Amino acid sequence: MMYGLSLPHVIILLVMLVLPLLAFRKAVIRAGFSPYWLLLGLVPGVSLVLLWLFAFSKWPAYER
């Protein structure tokens, strides 16, 4: 028991945190950006700016 959470709750929480990060990592790599964007995406205020930059910038993968 960790802070009132049982083991199944902890496992579900970890899955809910990791799966979106894996999907975002795959999208960032396919677009041609560095996977280190994930680290900046974990910061709450910075993640909105990164999402805006990701949506409206030219993707390096399409320039090749």
Each of the 64 residues of the chain gets a pLDDT tens digit; together they read: 557 788 898 899 899 988 888 888 888 888 888 888 888 878 888 888 888 888 888 877 776 6
Cα torsion at 19, 38, 42, 46 (round to 10°)?
A: -140
The phi, psi pair for 58, rounded to 5°, reads: -80, 130
Compute the mean pLDDT over every residue in the chain, rounded to the nearest whole number: 83
Structure tokens at 48: 């909105």
Residue with the two structure tokens 């090749």: 64
State pTM to two decimals: 0.64
Tell me how long the chain is. 64
